[in-house]
Amino acid sequence: MRLFGIILGYIGLHLLWGRKASFPYAVGFNLKWYFIFFSGYLIDLAVLLLLYWGYERTFSLKPLAWAKEKILTFEERISRSRMISWARPMGKASLFLMPAIPTAGRPFNILFLTRIFKLKYKESFFLFALGNLIGTIIWVSVLEGIITWAKILALLHH
């Protein structure tokens, strides 16, 4: 039962704050690196697919027209943000580079970049999947390396 709670906490952290919070949490509870890697990678891909699907399907319904207006004004505000000003000169490459940075590139950001750059979802998803793969590998490797070095140093001090 305890492991189930730890995994639920990991998934919740991943959905709320991404891998920058969930991976250290998982490493702290001694979850295996391959579980952290595959689950984190797949959760991000699933969330992005769900965002794409929801964005297209939800706003085609007449009763939710007001929500679409709110989202479009939010998109307008986001388009003036620092993230977009950083990403705009890179264009499509930003959809690959943002998730490749271990502590950045959440699926929500990618949805907005896709909309702002007027890209097709398949192209955007492919770029995100590659960048996310690299970022996930880097972050899991860094965390595992820190833990390994901490264990080595602890053994040397005994």
Structure tokens, 67: 């929500």
pLDDT digits (tens, 9 = 90+) for 31-63: 999 999 999 999 999 999 998 888 777 766 666
**Tally of helices (H runs) and strands (E runs) in the chain:** 8, 0
Query: CA-CA distance, 17 to 105, in Å (whole number)?
Result: 11
| Helix spans in 18-120 (H) | 19-28, 33-58, 65-78, 82-87, 93-100, 107-116
Residue ranges per structural domain of the chain = 34-156
Least confident of 32-46, 49-63, 114-128, 136-150: 49-63
The pLDDT tens digits for 12-30 are 999 999 999 999 999 989 8
Which pLDDT score, from 0 to 100, does residue 8 have? 95
Of 146, 133, 130, nearest in space to 24 by CA: 146
What's the CA gap between 60 and 62, in Å, rounded? 6
Q: Is the pLDDT of residue 79 over 80?
A: no
Quick one: average pLDDT of 103-108?
A: 81
